[in-house]
Amino acid sequence: MEDQLIWSLTPHGQFTTSSAYRLLDSDLPCSSNANFLYGECEWSNFWKLKWIHPKIMIFIWRALNDAISTRNKLKLWKPNFDSCCPFCLFEEESVDHLFLFCPIAKAVWFGSDLGARFDLFKHFPELMISFWISLGSAYLSSPHPSYPLAFSIIWHLWLAHNVVIFCGVVWPPELVICKARE
């Protein structure tokens, strides 16, 4: 008998988008890297947030699962690919570097209204999980004022990253902060 993939959430074993949606909307433990590394997370509450644009929610979920195209991942496929961060041109670009440790990211976080420094965090998922735990379920419909800005900063760091790569234009930290506030 030949091996085959079976989707355990449907009676017939075939994947359906509705069964995947029910999984995301349920309280079943998630199987993301963030869950594996940092304990059980409440993804069902994350997907219920009304104040984050769905595109940004999906992006953050992908970033937490190390599923965005950072240069260290691209280098796995193309060994001669330059994996240096397009912002600082010094360190290898990874999710952690792009959102936490790059000098541009540090300047954006510290220069924003949050005035945040993330020196204590070693990994981006660790930061987001602790942020998510502090969020709790109290802010599902109306957020604390700093939460939308934090999610927007992550999104705009990614947009600034893409502008550098595809247009050759570096957004200064002040512009990233300004766009994140909009």
Residue 10 forms part of a structural domain: no
In a domain? residue 28:
no
| Across 31-35, 111-115, 162-166, least confident range | 31-35
27 assigned to some structural domain: no
Task: Find the domain containing 55 and state its range.
Answer: 45-181
pLDDT digits (tens, 9 = 90+) for 63-93: 888 889 999 998 888 889 899 999 999 999 9
Domain annotation covers residue 50: yes
**What total number of domains does the chain contain?**
1
Residue 40 lies in a domain: no
> Please, which pLDDT band fits residue 104 given cuts at 50, 70 and 90?
very high
Report yes or no on 153 lying in a domain.
Answer: yes
SS3 content of the chain, % helix, strand, coil (to 5): 55, 0, 45
For residue 55, being part of any structural domain is answered with yes
Q: What is the overall mean pLDDT for the chain?
A: 79
Position 44 scores a pLDDT of 66
pLDDT at position 123: 76
Which one has a higher pLDDT value, 13 or 106? 106
**Domain assignment present for 14:** no
